[in-house]
């Protein structure tokens, strides 16, 4: 049995939820029985970052909450995004100080800049906004998936004179990468030049678009209204007002007031100890929670990075961008060495941290080490745009395509990093594609960004094995995005299409549905021949158990519309357990 409590107004889970002999999950990925699924609920207690860790983390949260008083954190991020020169830095400075004087030809932000801003909040509290001003250059777009965080407010700044803002790209990116965080559009009407944007179409497509505001940052026209709207929207974010154990808030405040960019794990544990923590698992649960929020970085699974807690994520972010912006690295098409990094990170703030920063880049899949080389690395975002010449055996290929409704930047470069050990001769790789060789089998994987597609061709001795590996890696990358809509397309194997480089394609999920509905054949749109559905799949993919939905597991789908946003009534689940029994 799976109890599916998705798309409900549940804000609070009861502590007794962990007494059920069922695991708790926040996604819809697992299909097997024994799970209670809370996908797409506005959870505040426990925070969704805790629920996503499963039942043990939820139980530990409630035990700590029971053992001490509740407290609250009034803090959030405002991330300012947009094209280069739109006025992002000016807006950030104007929020901090409305009397900030604009400078002619102000230098565009390189990487990222963080500004702290505070305003008075309810009950004599102070609300703190961490303003992240992002560089808008193209190279940074492929790294957005690592630094655009949920539980944040976004401001998209558009220069009304240039009319170069790709609203659909930015709105799609925020919706996809941040689990639909709220967004404001700020029209910077330089020299009072006004510009119309397709507001009705944007609002119809993007539910997270809250307001479209106009300003002239030079004259401060419209600035008070923008400040008011920012304060309102950011203080209304779902996590604001969520109860946390008092020790968590104390440690968070201690870390926030710490001027250091990073501390050792021992120093972090000592701060926890001084603020009331006693158990190691509680201390690590908090650092994991803060990591998931993007407040600090602590990679607990990495043998090197687990020894360091990065208190200022912008410190690590800026270090990464210094490499990607370095002229020598750009000139060498993304190639650099450890000695190059010593030169790039030669400031005191990076002293003795080169290994950790390099590991950070590796963890973010921003670079890879060339196999059998001596400390030589490649950042694939900076590879040549030109596809190299190579011969390809076009007969008897396995072919697969991925088609995206919206394609975020960086998918193919992440794939290149993951598969780098099999790059053919470590030479057949470019910014949008790669040739892989594994066990006398070759794969060509190419991104066509303008068409929102990735195309895969494979020939050789173990085609289906390599295809399975490629699919698994793309599935991992796709799963890291919250709302990615992607179709896996399988080629037809009728007499006209088999062996063709341009066959008819079928959606994989639709083929699986036909099998589920006992429709074993489907017509080819090119030859009109009826083909066997299972053979279409078997020709390309070695299916694994988790590819096939378990038909024996009944889902109990519960819509809760009358409980006023909580799940404190035990009859909700107990009552539906009776429904399960009667269903069986």
Task: Locate 420 and state its tokens.
Answer: 């780098």
Looking at the DSSP assignment, which residues form a beta bridge with residue 531? Answer: 522
Residue partners of 209: CB distance under 8 A and separation at least 6: 171, 183, 185, 202, 203
Q: What is the pLDDT of residue 104?
A: 66
Whose structure tokens read 């995004």? 81
Whose structure tokens read 């960004």? 449
Q: What is the pLDDT of residue 182?
A: 92
CA distances from 257 to 250, 253, 264, 311, 412 (A): 11, 6, 16, 10, 39
pLDDT digits (tens, 9 = 90+) for 252-262: 999 988 999 99
Q: What is the pLDDT of residue 146?
A: 67
Are the beta carbons of 95 and 117 closer than 8 angstroms? yes
- The bridge status of strand 2-4 relative to strand 555-557 is parallel
Residue partners of 114: CB distance under 8 A and separation at least 6: 130, 131, 132, 133, 312, 314
Tally Cβ neighbours within 10 Å of residue 100: 16
- The bridge status of strand 35-37 relative to strand 2-4 is parallel
Half-sphere exposure of 363 (CA within 13 A, CB side): 20
Residue partners of 482: CB distance under 8 A and separation at least 6: 150, 176, 177, 178, 179, 180
Give DSSP secondary structure letters for 321-335: HHHHT-HHHHHTTTE
Task: Locate 449 and state its tokens.
Answer: 């960004």
Task: Locate 450 and state its tokens.
Answer: 């303008």
C-alpha 309/C-alpha 269 separation (Å) is 10
CA distances from 126 to 48, 116, 121 (A): 24, 12, 5
Looking at the DSSP assignment, which residues form a beta bridge with residue 398? Answer: 458
Q: What is the pLDDT of residue 268?
A: 96
Q: What is the pLDDT of residue 145?
A: 65
The conformational region for residue 110 under phi > 0 = left, psi -120 to 50 = alpha, else beta, is: beta
Q: What is the pLDDT of residue 456?
A: 96
CA distances from 537 to 230, 345, 471, 504, 509 (A): 50, 50, 13, 14, 10
pTM summary value: 0.84
Q: What angle do CA 236, 242, 247 make, to 5 degrees?
A: 135
Q: What is the pLDDT of residue 404?
A: 96
Segments of the chain with pLDDT less than 70: 1, 27-33, 104-111, 135-142, 144-147, 163-164, 544-584
Q: What is the pLDDT of residue 552?
A: 47
C-alpha 378/C-alpha 333 separation (Å) is 8
């Amino acid at each position: 049995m799976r109890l599916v409590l998705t798309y409900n107004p549940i804000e609070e889970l009861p502590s007794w939820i962990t007494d059920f002999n069922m695991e708790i999950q926040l996604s819809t990925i697992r299909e097997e029985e024994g799970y209670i699924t809370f996908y797409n609920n506005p959870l505040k207690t426990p925070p969704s970052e805790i629920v996503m860790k499963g039942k043990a983390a939820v139980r530990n949260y409630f035990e700590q909450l029971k053992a001490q008083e509740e407290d609250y954190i009034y803090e959030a991020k405002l991330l300012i995004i947009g094209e280069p020169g739109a006025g992002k830095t000016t807006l950030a400075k104007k929020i901090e100080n409305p009397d900030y004087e604009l400078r002619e030809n102000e230098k565009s932000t390189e990487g990222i800049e963080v500004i702290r801003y505070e305003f008075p909040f309810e009950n004599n509290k102070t609300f703190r906004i961490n303003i992240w001003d992002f560089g808008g250059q193209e190279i940074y777009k492929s790294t957005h998936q690592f630094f655009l965080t949920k539980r944040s407010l976004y401001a998209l700044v558009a220069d009304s004179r240039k009319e170069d803002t790709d609203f659909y790209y930015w709105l799609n990116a925020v919706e996809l990468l941040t689990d639909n965080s709220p967004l404001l559009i700020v029209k910077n009407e330089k020299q009072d030049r006004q510009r119309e944007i397709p507001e009705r179409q944007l609002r119809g497509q993007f539910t997270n678009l809250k307001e479209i505001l106009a300003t002239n940052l030079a004259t401060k026209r419209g600035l008070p209204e923008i400040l008011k709207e920012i304060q309102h929207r950011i203080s209304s974010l779902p996590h604001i007002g969520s109860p946390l154990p008092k020790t968590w808030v104390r440690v968070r405040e201690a870390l926030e007031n710490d001027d250091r960019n990073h501390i050792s794990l021992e120093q972090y544990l000592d701060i926890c100890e001084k603020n009331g923590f006693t158990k190691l698992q509680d201390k690590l649960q908090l650092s994991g929670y803060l990591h998931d929020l993007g407040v600090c970085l602590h990679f607990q699974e990495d043998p090197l990075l687990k020894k360091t807690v990065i208190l200022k994520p912008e410190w690590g972010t800026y270090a990464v961008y210094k490499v990607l912006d370095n002229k020598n690295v750009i000139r060498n098409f993304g190639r650099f060495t450890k000695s190059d990094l010593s030169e790039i990170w030669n400031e005191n703030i990076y002293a003795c941290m080169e290994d950790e920063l390099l590991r950070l880049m590796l963890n973010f899949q921003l670079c890879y080490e060339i196999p059998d080389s001596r400390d030589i690395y490649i950042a694939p975002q900076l590879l040549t745009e030109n596809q190299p010449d190579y011969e390809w055996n076009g007969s008897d290929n396995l072919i697969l395509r991925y088609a995206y409704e919206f394609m975020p930047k960086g998918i193919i470069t992440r794939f290149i990093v993951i598969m780098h050990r099999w790059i053919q001769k470590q030479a057949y790789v470019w910014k949008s594609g790669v040739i892989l060789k594994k066990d006398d089998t070759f794969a060509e994987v190419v991104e066509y960004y303008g068409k929102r597609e990735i195309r895969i061709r494979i020939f050789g001795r173990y085609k289906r094995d390599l295809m399975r590996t490629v699919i698994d890696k793309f599935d991992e990358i796709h799963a890291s995005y919250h709302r990615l809509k992607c179709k896996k397309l399988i080629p037809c194997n009728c007499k006209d299409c088999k062996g063709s480089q341009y066959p008819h394609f079928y959606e994989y999920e639709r083929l699986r549905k036909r099998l589920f509905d006992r429709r074993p054949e489907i017509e080819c749109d090119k030859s009109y021949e009826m083909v066997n559905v299972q053979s279409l799949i078997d020709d390309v993919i070695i299916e694994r158990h988790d590819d096939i939905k378990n038909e024996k597991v009944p889902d109990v789908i519960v819509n809760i519309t009358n409980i006023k946003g909580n799940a404190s009534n035990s009859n909700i689940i107990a009552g539906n357990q009776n429904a399960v029994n009667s269903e069986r």
